[in-house]
Amino acid sequence: MLLYDVPFERLFSKRNRVLLREMVKTDFKLRYQGSILGMAWSVMKPLMLFVVMYTVFVRFLRFGAGVPHFPVALLLAIVLWQFFAESASQGMQAVVARASLLRKISFPKSIIVISATVSALINLGISLVVVLVLALINHVAFQWHAVLFIPVLIQLYVLSLGLAFFLASLYVKWRDIGHIWDVVAQALFYATPIIYPLSLVAATSETGAKLLLLNPMAQMIQDARYLLIYDGTDTIWTYIDNPVVHFVPIVLTLLLAVLASVLFNKKSGEFAEEA
């Protein structure tokens, strides 16, 4: 069985696991090198964005009024989105950033992109602790189904890794992809119910709200809010009656991962020359 550019059993051999660990450590050191606050930025960045979003959209524009624990729901969505955006951005540039290493030693190219997403995953873990603290302060009552948040995280990582491999495959040759992705990411952010509740869209167009939930990020954010914060949150499972449609975002996630795998495998042999 092939996973990206090498057989699965070779990708996570002892040698490659050590290489992956060292790359993740290096990413962390370089990311916060010269920074006074260092790793604290893992928490400060989503918190600062949350304060801005909360002040503008919740306090002044009254988004989420009447939605229980909406500030916590907002922070959770921001944290999940930050992981998705960071994984895509860092993963996209990872091969080019490691170009000199590619020319010196032979190893699975996929490890480079995986290390970038694992680094982002660590930041996500730290940020989720902050979400937990805010949830406790706001007296969020966690239910047993909170454990189902783990499959949501797995889907989120698969989607982010797939997108990272896809963008990395193209960015090596076409650096314009970076600028295009910045625009696309901004559009996706506002097309996802992060700063506004899904009910706000449904009030204008029920069909629009249903189409919005076909977006894997929208589906995962709503699922996460339902599982962790408020079980009255609209999700694709509760808002749409058709059981076939329920699995569309999951299928899209897996489809992206498979297509990205094929593309990365096809292009990986050219990275050393083009990066």
Give domain limits for the chain.
2-274
Separation CA 127–CA 64 (nearest Å) = 22
Tens digits of residue pLDDT in 47-99: 888 888 888 877 777 777 778 888 899 999 999 999 999 999 999 998 888 87
Report the pLDDT averaged over residues 180-188. 94
Residue 14 has pLDDT above 80, yes or no: no
Whole-number average pLDDT of the chain: 85
What does the DSSP 8-state code read for residue 245?
Answer: G
Per the structure block, which two tokens stand in for 246? 């329920």
Separation CA 92–CA 178 (nearest Å) = 8
Angle subtended by helix axes 149-171 and 248-267, to nearest 10:
30
Tens digits of residue pLDDT in 201-214: 988 899 999 999 99
**Greater pLDDT, 148 or 4:** 148
Phi, psi of 5 (to 5 degrees): -105, 5
Per the structure block, which two tokens stand in for 150? 């783990």
pLDDT at 1: 38
Residue 3 has pLDDT above 60, yes or no: no
Query: Residue type for 137, please?
Result: I
**Greater pLDDT, 8 or 172:** 172
pLDDT at 149: 96
Question: What sign has the CA pseudo-torsion 158, 160, 165, 170?
Answer: positive
User: What are the CA-CA distances from residue 132 to residues 8, 35, 38, 87 (Å)?
Assistant: 35, 26, 22, 22
Q: If you average pLDDT over each of 20-24, 26-30, 117-121, which comes out highest?
A: 117-121
**Hey, what's the torsion of the CAs at 111, 115, 121, 127, to 10 degrees?**
180
Do 5 and 263 form a contact (C-beta atoms < 8 A)? no
Residue 182 has pLDDT above 70, yes or no: yes
**Greater pLDDT, 17 or 155:** 155
Residue 249 has pLDDT above 90, yes or no: yes
